[in-house]
Amino acid sequence: MSLQETVDGLGQLINGELVTSGETIAVVNPATGEVAAQCPAATTAMVDDAMAAAASAFPAWSTTPEAQRRAVIRQLADAIEAVYPELETLAAVEKGNAGGAAEGFAAIWFGRHIAEQHLAVDVIEDTPDRQVTVVRAPVGVVTAIAPWNAPMLIIVEKILTALLVGNTVVAKTSPFTPLATLRIAKAWKDIAPPGVVNILAGGDEVGKAMVAHPTARMISFTGSAAAGRSIAAPAAATLKNVLLELGGNDAAIVLGDVDVTKVAEGIFASAFLMSGQACALVKRVYAHESIYDALVAELAEIAQKKAAELPPLTTKPQFERVKMLVDDAIAHGGKAVTGGSPTGTGYFYPPTIMTGVGPGVRVVDEEQFGPVLPIVPFSDVDWAIEQANGTEYGLCGSIWTADVALGEQLATRLVCGTVWLNQHTEIDPKIPFGGVKSSGIGRNNGQVGTDAYAELQTRIFYKKSDRV
């Protein structure tokens, strides 16, 4: 079966059926820059259909016993594993590399973890006269929107967490990477009850219709800070709950007492994971002047060795943005120690280690979301912390030092949602994740992440009938 024939078998999952509109999205293979397939696309009319289906399914699903909901979630996670070879093929096309489906393993891991979670009940008081508890009640219909960089993992985590609490979902994947997600939708068609899970692939007009739709009671979105602001405004008009996991410009502060070789390996592994196309990666490094030259040299050596292993940038707009940021840095006196210009076909960009840049240069001040890492020297750690915090973002940050006690003290001064000591970038379904400032509202994962999809309802039950 050809790729297009496989794609032709996909559709929008609405009310337990795969639906097509005749409209398509051109999916580009980033490795070549050429259109690889025409994927079925959703319409705004389908948004109405999906919302109606989710609203109709909500009463029964929200009152389904928790154990039964968790059993369905477990089946949904198993279904991803069952079709993983096909996901691998489709992800390789839309991401331009054979390892593009690796996030699918994380989606299975997250799904199975969610299936084993129990909704917390906080007991405030329990006496012979009355019981006071706080329970996690469902919000209603949840709109979930995933980005193009890790669409399978992110959309699966959103949907399954929402289902655990008793919500129904209308989800949308990015038009840049719709193929693998719609294959998951096909695998799920006959597992969850009709209307409980609805999955669409479409552009901005579909996303806007989902966000503004009066049926939705919550918006869960992962993407850029600018897009997050555009979602928060219409959501506020009807006081929808929002969970926004937005961009980051993570700083790593490296003190002078480290083993440079070890630190360079850890920082490179974070900064260039997925060619830098993830929010919680090292985006800028502040290195003490005593080890600055050695760290730059080590990072440059790793970059040269690993260059051929990096995948392409996923979208042409992001490819053009990375080129612009590097060109701008060089125009302002920066130096590309490695990389510095695209090579080959498609959207490949080599790992670029930059020096000679600092505050006021866009490659330092803005999130690159690509394989570019500026290294800035410092002599005063207080200045480095000020620089790390001096941005609209506040997703993650890290301190690297052999002095653990000092590192713990410095880490508490970083203004961000996650701080690491001698590490940067790791995901775990039991560890809450999210940002502050323009990096978002709320948290994903763990009990805190589950609570984001719930209304905390206080229940005060008097146990004796003598009051009536």
User: What's the token pair of residue 307?
Assistant: 């260059």
Rg of the chain on CA atoms, in Å = 23
Q: Which of 382, 393, 388, 401 is nearest to 286 (CA)?
A: 388
Backbone phi, psi, residue 337, to 5°: -65, -35
Catalytic annotation present for 396 = no
Opening angle at CA 74, ends 68 and 77, nearest 5: 145
Q: Which of 352, 374, 362, 185 is nearest to 282 (CA)?
A: 374
CA distance 195 to 217: 16
Q: Is 215 left (phi over 0), alpha (psi -120 to 50) or beta?
A: alpha
Other beta carbons less than 10 A from residue 432's beta carbon: 18
Catalytic residue, candidates 94, 103, 157, 245: 245
Strands 250-254 and 282-288: parallel
Catalytic annotation present for 279 = yes
Other beta carbons less than 10 A from residue 204's beta carbon: 10
Secondary structure (H, E, C), the chain: CCHHHHHHCCCEEECCEEECCCCEEEEEECCCCEEEEEEECCCHHHHHHHHHHHHHHHHHHHCCCHHHHHHHHHHHHHHHHHCHHHHHHHHHHHHCCCCCCHHHHHHHHHHHHHHHCCCCEEEEEECCCEEEEEEEEECCEEEEECCCCCHHHHHHHHHHHHHHHCCEEEEEECCCCCHHHHHHHHHHCCCCCCCCEEEEECCHHHHHHHHHCCCEEEEEEECCHHHHHHHHHHHHHCCCEEEEECCCCEEEEECCCCCHHHHHHHHHHHHCHHHHCCCCCEEEEEEECCCHHHHHHHHHHHHHHHHHHCCCCCCHHHHHHHHHHHHHHHHCCCEECCCCCCCCCCCCCCCEEEECCCCCCHHHHCCCCCCEEEEEEECCHHHHHHHHHCCCCCCEEEEECCCHHHHHHHHCCCCCCEEEECCCCCCCCCCCECCCHHHEECCECHHHHHHCCEEEEEEEEECCHHHC
Catalytic residue, candidates 39, 279, 396, 416: 279
Catalytic residues: 245, 279
